[in-house]
Structure formats: structure tokens, C-alpha cells
Structure 1
Amino acid sequence: MKLMCQERLKRQKEAVANRMKKLEAKQNEIKKKASEIRNNIERKYEEMRRVLEEDCRITLSLLEMEEQATVRALDDLIERNCSVFSDIEFQLSEGLMESEAQSEDMVTELQDRVEELLIVTDPSLVKLDEVKAEQILDLTNNLLLFIRSQTPITKRLLKSCLTEVSLDPNTAHPKLIISPSQDCVTFTNEWQDVSENDARFDTTLNVLSHQSWDSGRHYWVVDVRGKVYWELGLTYPSIPRKGRKEDCWLGRNKGSWCVEFFDGDYTAWHDGKSHPLPIGTHFNRIGIFCSFPAGLVMFLGEDSMTPLFAFCVGTFTEHLQLALCPGHDLQGCNSQPIKICHAAHPKC
């Protein structure tokens, strides 16, 4: 009997050891793939930088060449004026001719030279091709506007995943007011006259979305401006909703993932484990991205697309719903609502 138990333990040990090897191999594979992707992206950005630098060099060289040609032309005109100016000074210093007729002829000759000189050296005749320069500037500005419209790349990618969502009043805590459009939630000290049902949170100030998802990639933007406390995240429908246990809170159980903002500090939560985030910026909008193929939940400061935290879940076992908690009003300091930015109008 003892030998049989030992054999079973050996097989179990071998199975665990093989699984560890496979996990390590998968880890190395993911690191290698991620490194290749990063290197490819870096090479593309480096190539774009070289293309822009070369275009800038060519454009500036052209303008510099035109500038040098114009300056040289003006140098020649200045030199011609200096020559005549010296002749006049010489005549003044040496005095006029003894013969009045000779003096008159000399003055007349200089006068003719000066008049011709003033005509051919008119500064308005020498100019840069300002029309072309303005065209170059306009094209450069258009290029800048185009680049800005395309970046950051992640913003364009995530915006393409924007998913319409509405809040379910039947899940809202009785001290939460859901707007008629079902895209805004506000805390109130007054207990609302709402029906009791199994879906409603009765202690934690949560509300869930009508919709749920089990495939694809999705992105939501939530406006939290004016708030000093809030919680945002995704949850399985099986999240506990009754009682005072902490597992009713977002991120304090195995079936929900959230980021909390309180008194200037951001914290990511899942399965009761907190991850304080070293971020000092107070964002007005928070982005929540979910990828079912990657088993990923990611939070961003949407104002500048700043990554906040990412959870790698692996495989989701249930549908997911968007979950919001506006928090107590904290004596009026946190009375602003939380608002969902719609896909058609992502900027609230």
C-alpha cells in the first residue's frame, strides 16, 4: 500500500514538474513574441523619424540655398553702392575741378551714375520666394496636423473598440440616481423608492451595465471629473450583491477587477489584493479596455492615454459587465456624477 502511494505521489510530482516546464516555456515564448513586436514597432518609429529628419534636411537646405543666393545678390548691390559712394567721397575731399565746365560735367556724370544705381539697386527688387515658403509652411503644418490626428496609435486602436453601454437601474444601490439616458450615476443621501430584487446592491454603492459581453475587444470611457473618490471596473454577474461583506465590493473578490481613486491616490484591486499605483496625475476620464482573446483588463488615464494598470486574467469564465461606484458625497466634496462617454461622442 505504501509503495502504491509513493508511486502516485511520484506521478503527481512528475505531472506538476511537466506543467511547470510548459508554463516556463509559455512564459519564454510570450516574452520572445512581445520583444519581437516591440522591436518591430521601434524600427517603424525609427524609420518614420529618419524619413521626417531627411525631409526636414532637404526642405531647410533648399531654403538655405535660396537665402544664400539672395544674400549674395544683395552683397553685389551693396558693393556697387559702396563703389559710387567712394567716388563721391573722393571728389568731395579732392575738391571740384578748376574748370567750372569740367566740374559741371563731373557732377552730372556722378548724378547719372547715382540715378541709375538707385534704380538697379532698389531693395524691393530682391526678395525671397515667400509664396513658395508659405506653401512649404502650409504643407508642413498639414503634415503635423495629420500626424497628430494619427497619434497616439493606441488611442486610435482603442477608439475603434468603443462599445455602447447603458446602466441598469435594477442593479443600482437605492442611494444611487440613474439618469433617464442611463449613462450617468449620482450619489444621493436620500434612499430612493425602488423595488427590491436579487440583482440590486443593498450595501455597496455599485451599479452594473445592462449589457454583458463574452467575446471580442471592448473599450469604455468614463468621465470622473470633479470627483475625489470613485471605483470603476468589470465584473462577473455572479458578484455578491447583498450584505456588508467586502466581497460585494469591486475588486475584493475573484470575479471583478477595478481601479479605485481616493484622495489623490489610485489603487488597482482584484481578489482582495491591492496594487497602489505611483501616479500623481488627476485624470478627468478613465478608459477601460477588455480583450477576451487575450484575457486582458486594462485601465488608462484617457486624457493622455496613460496606462494605469493591467490584469492578465487568462480565460474569462463568465460574461463581463461594466461596474461603476461613484462613492459617497463626502460632505459635498464628491457630489459630482460619474458619466459614461458614448462611442458617438467619446469626449464628454
Structure 2
Amino acid sequence: MSSEEESPVAQSALSVQRGAGVPSTCGQSVLQDAMSLTPLDSTEDRVQPFPRSPQLQRRSAKAAPPTQEQLSQRVEELQAQKTKTEARIQSLKKRRADLATRTDVMKQQIHAQFEAMRAVLKQDEQAVIETLDIDMKRTREMLGQVLKTWNQHLHQLSRTISITQQAVKDTRTAAPGGQMEDKNEIINLQKSDGAEENIRLDEERFEKLVQMLSSVCKELRAQLQRKNLLLDLLPAVVDPQTCHPQLNATSDGKGLFYRAACSSPEHPLKFDQVCCGLGSAPLCSGQGYWEVDVRCCSSWAVGVAYERLERKGRDKGSKLGRNRNSWCVEYRNEKLLAWHNDRNMVCHWVGVGRSRLSRVGMWVQFDKGQLVFFDAETMSVLHSFSAVMTTVFDRAHHQFTEPLYPAVRFIKPDAQEWPNHMEFCHRTLPL
């Protein structure tokens, strides 16, 4: 190869060698390095400057095309999912179709029950009306008999007057026997005059009946109102880990007894100074209803509380209604008060003046922030806490933000012994 035909790289290497006076060995090494470079259009395998990273290798593995076996398996899985989805859709369609049928059946059953109640009321109404008609007919017959007797007496008097007048005209007197007979008849009718005043309807009996029906109507109205609440009845069970050491839970967990001596060991969740206890199951959403039997307790507090209610000490943070974490109604010294956030309000109790409350009902609408206390016997509202009915400043106090636990407290009354027993009611609609 001539010098004119040398590559440009070789010519540049020679020019550098001549101009710079570098030894020939160095020029030859540079030339060899230049000649050893791989052309860009070479068909040989290219050498990577560094090995691939693990992430790049994973991407390459994922990007690899699936095999025929993998594709077949994937198709089978999709077919199985499709079959399950179709079966699920058919099941939902069937449930939707059955929903209307079941609703109609339930409506018919409810309608039949109310029709039976109306039939009983109609039958009882008819029986009472028939009794009233019988009494009216009997009284009318007695009055008719008396009226007939008086009509006969009037006829006799008219006849006697007529005879007497005729006798006066004839200047004759009536026979002594006839006069005596008329007098006797008049006297006998006068004696029967007092008995006529006793002929009347049995009004006293029917007044009692009206009062009884009024009482039944009030009780029925209360029971009909109560049935909706009992449908939301939550079976509360006492959590023994939260009860004061002097409180004992019954074997079924429904009731609490007070004992003078401590009967349970200390626990971080226990109330150590205030005789309180909480239920084990909270209400987190929706609505629920609890009932507490307080007949065997002389002073008490019944309500709901957050779990973070303080358990230690005797300050306001651990007493029901004396803080923002609890709501209650409290009966002490013959007074019934509703407490929350250390404020109290007198309850509108229609039973003031009678013995005492027997059962207290608590109805919670968690999402609406509403809590209503009832007299569970008459279903009269004792007090209502509501976020809607309060001012803006107090509204946050009644907007429930945590699960609510049923809570009870035994209160030591003034100049009396400690109360004994309270119990959560679990019964449903009365039979």
C-alpha cells in the first residue's frame, strides 16, 4: 500500500510523529490502536461499556413475549373469571327479582297483622255499643212501664174529677169507699215517685269504660312508638374490665351489683374512684337503642360515653355528664337532670310526683348527632340532645365523632344507703 493510499488516521499519526519528534515506537502504538477500532458498520456483536442493571434486566424479562402455554393458561383463567362473573350477575338479578316479591309478602303480613288488630278493636267496639244499646233498651222499658202507670193514674184522676164535678152539679157527694180508693191510689203512686229517680243508664259504669279506653289508647300509642325503638335494640353487656372494683357484673353480663368490699383486682381500664361501668359493644354508626332497669337503684346516672372517658380520680373528667366525652340523665334526691359538658337541664318528666322511673331508654342516631332519653314505660321524652337543635357554639359537642358506649353510674344518695342493682334490658317486643 502506497503512502497516498494510507488511511487518514495513519497519515495524522505520521504527521504527529514527524512534527512533535516523538519516538517511532509511540507512533506505531497509536497507529495500532487506531487500526484496532471497530468500524461503525461492522456486523460483529457490539460490546457494552458496562453490564446491565438488575432493574433493566427485570424490565427485559417482563417485556419478553409470553409462551404459548402461558397464553393458554391466561385464557383459562379469564374464562373462569368470566363464568364466575356471569354466575354472580345472575345471582344478583335473581335477588333483585326476589326482593320485590319478599317486600310484597312482608307488606301483606304487616297488613294482615294490623287488620287483625283493627278487627279486634272493631269487635270490642261493637260489643261495647251492643252493651250500651241493651242498657238503653232496659232503661227505656222501665221508663215506659212507669210512664204507663202514670198515664193510668192520670186517667183515673181525670175520671175521678169528672165524677166529682158531676156530683157537685147534682149536689151529691161521692161514695166514701170510692174516695178512699182514689186516695190510696194516689198515695201509692207518690211512694213510687222516688224509685223513678233511680231509673237511668249505668253512667258510672260507662264513665269507667271511657277512662279505661283512654288509658288503653295511651298505652297502645306508647307501645306502637316503642316498637320502632325495640327494632333497634342493642343487647348491651357490661365490660367487667371497666367497672369500679366495688361493682360486680352478673354471670350473663346484663346487670351490675354494688358491694361494700372490693371484689376485683385493679386494671388500667377500671374506674378507681367513681362507681361507673361501660358496655362492651359500642355504636359506631347508624342508630341504636338501649334500655336500663333502674327500679332497684335509689340514685343513678345512665347515658353514653366515649372510650377516652377518664377512669382514674374523682374529678369531672371521670363522671358521666361532667365533660364533653359523656351524656347522661341523672336521678338524685328526687330530681331528674340531664347532664353534658358539666351543664345540667331539668328533664320534662310527666311522672313527677309518682314513685320513680322504672326503665330508662336511650336512642342514638349516630350520624345525625341525636341522643334521646325516654321513660321506657310511657315513652315520654325525658330529654333530647341534638346537634341540629343547638346553637352553633354547642353544636360540635353533640356531633358524635367516636364510638359510643352505654354507661351507668351508681351515686351515693344523701342520708341513704348505697343502691344495689341496675340491669340492661335485652327483651324484644312484649308478648
Within 1, Cα distance between the matches of 2:216 and 2:314? 53
| Residue 95 of structure 1, aligned match among 172, 175, 190 | 175
Higher relative contact order (CA 8 A, sep 6+): 1
Establish whether residue 318 from structure 1 lines up as the match of residue 402 from structure 2: yes
Percent sequence identity is: 24
2:256 is the alignment partner of 1:185: yes
* d(CA) in 2 for partners of 1:296, 1:243: 29
* RMSD of Structure 2 on Structure 1 (CA): 4.4
Q: 2:278 aligns with which of 203, 208, 233?
A: 208
2:364 is matched with: 290
Paired with 2:430 and 2:413, the residues of 1 have a C-alpha distance of 26
Q: After alignment, is 158-167 or 231-240 more displaced? A: 158-167
Point out the more displaced range, 176-185 or 332-341: 332-341
Say whether 1:339 aligns with 2:391: no
Contact 1:187 1:329 in 2 (8 A): no
Is the 8 Å Cα contact of residues 269 and 275 (structure 1) preserved in structure 2?
yes
Deviations 1:141-184 (A, max 9, x none): 99657634422354444344333222111211111111112222
1:256 equivalent in alignment to 2:326:
yes
Structure-2 residue corresponding to 1:227: 297
Aligned AA (1:188): R
**1:190 Cα deviation after fit:** 0.7
Q: Distance between the aligned counterparts of 1:346 and 1:228, measured in 2? A: 26
The secondary structure found in structure 1 opposite 2:241 is helix
Aligned-partner SS, 1:151: helix
What is the Cα deviation at residue 264 of structure 1? 2.0
SS of match in other structure, 2:424 = strand
SS at match of 1:94: coil
SS of the aligned residue for 1:233 comes to strand
1:167 aligns with 2:238: yes
Q: Give 1:241's match in structure 2, choosing from 311, 319, 327.
A: 311
2-structure distance, mates of 1:205, 1:252: 14
SS at match of 1:170: coil
- String of CA shifts for 1:29-76, please: whole Å, max 9, x gaps: xxxxxxxxxxxxxxxxxxxxxxxxxx9xxx79x969967797467535
Q: 1:65 to 1:250 in 2, by over 3 A?
A: closer
Amino acid at match of 1:249: K
1:78 aligns with 2:150: yes
Change (3 A) 1:65 1:186: closer
Q: 1:154 to 1:294 in 2, by over 3 A?
A: farther
- Tell me by how many angstroms 1:209 deviates: 0.9
User: In structure 2, do the counterparts of structure 1 residues 158 and 341 end up closer, same or farther at CA, with 3 Å as the change threshold?
Assistant: same
In structure 2, the CA distance between the partners of 1:78 and 1:160, relative to structure 1 (3 Å rule), is farther
AA of the residue aligned to 1:75: L
- 1:94, 1:168 → 2: CA distance? 104
Deviation per CA, 1:311-338, whole angstroms, max 9, x where unpaired? 1145321211100112347675233211
Instruction: Please list every run of 5 or more consecutive structure 1 residues that lacks an aligned counterpart in the other structure.
Output: 1-54, 97-127
Give deviations 1:123-158, integer Å, cap 9, x for gaps.
Answer: xxxxx9x9xx9xx99x98996576344223544443
Cα deviation 1:73-113 (Å, max 9, x = unaligned):
753553135424654795996339xxxxxxxxxxxxxxxxx
TM-score (norm 2): 0.48
Q: How many residues align?
A: 256
Q: Shift of residue 204 of structure 1?
A: 1.9
What displacement does 1:303 show?
4.1
Q: Is the 8 A contact 2:364 2:371 kept in 1?
A: yes
Distance between the aligned counterparts of 2:272 and 2:328, measured in 1? 19
Matched with 1:218 is 288
Which range is displaced more, 315-324 or 290-299?
A: 290-299
Shift, 1:257, TM fit: 0.7
> In structure 1, what is the Cα distance between the partners aligned to 2:344 and 2:216?
41
The whole-number CA distance in structure 2 between the counterparts of 1:342 and 1:246 is 31
Is contact 1:163–1:343 with CA below 8 Å preserved after alignment? no
CA distance in 2, matches of 1:180, 1:199: 20
Q: Do 1:158 and 1:289's aligned partners in 2 also have CA atoms closer than 8 Å?
A: yes
Whole-angstrom CA distance in 1 between matches of 2:347 and 2:210:
39
| Structure 2 CA distance for aligned equivalents of residues 297 and 70 of structure 1 | 61
Partner SS, residue 288 of structure 1: strand
CA distance in 1, matches of 2:213, 2:296: 36
Among 312, 327, 337, the residue aligned to 2:411? 327
| Kept after mapping to 1: 8 A contact 2:321/2:340 | yes
